[in-house]
Amino acid sequence: MKKSMLAAAAAVPLALAFASPAMAQSTPPSPAAPPGAGAPADTTPLSESEIHSALEAQGYSNVKTVKHDGDQYQLQAQRNGKPVMLMVDARTGRYSERPS
């Protein structure tokens, strides 16, 4: 009895190992979505005041807009008492920081 249970238990992993890929996956995988594909195309960009408020909520102070070109903003601010330059994409809300 013990031998038959061991043989049955050993047969299960082997059966799964030899299963065809079609059995394991019935639908083909979808292609990878391009970056930004999940965001709606008609997203309203953040206003300049919304950008300033969001940055201040992140710990920046003395936020000032230096340059604005379409949805791209270049700003000066301070963080932890040190001057920084920020580049903000108003459409996505993403920003990068570098020392000023």
pLDDT in tens, 29-46: 444 444 444 445 568 999
According to the model, what pLDDT value does residue 99 have?
93
13 located within any domain: no
Of residues 96 and 6, more confidence is placed in 96
Cβ 79 vs Cβ 59: under 8 Å: yes
Range of the domain at 100: 46-100
Per the structure, the count of domains in the chain is 1
Cβ 86 vs Cβ 60: under 8 Å: yes
What single letter denotes the amino acid at residue 62?
A: N
15 located within any domain: no
Q: How far is CA 66 from CA 36, 48, 51, 76, in A?
A: 27, 11, 13, 7
19 located within any domain: no
69 located within any domain: yes
According to the model, what pLDDT value does residue 45 have?
94
Of residues 76 and 39, more confidence is placed in 76
- Backbone region of residue 65 per phi and psi (left: phi > 0; alpha: psi in -120 to 50; beta: other values): beta
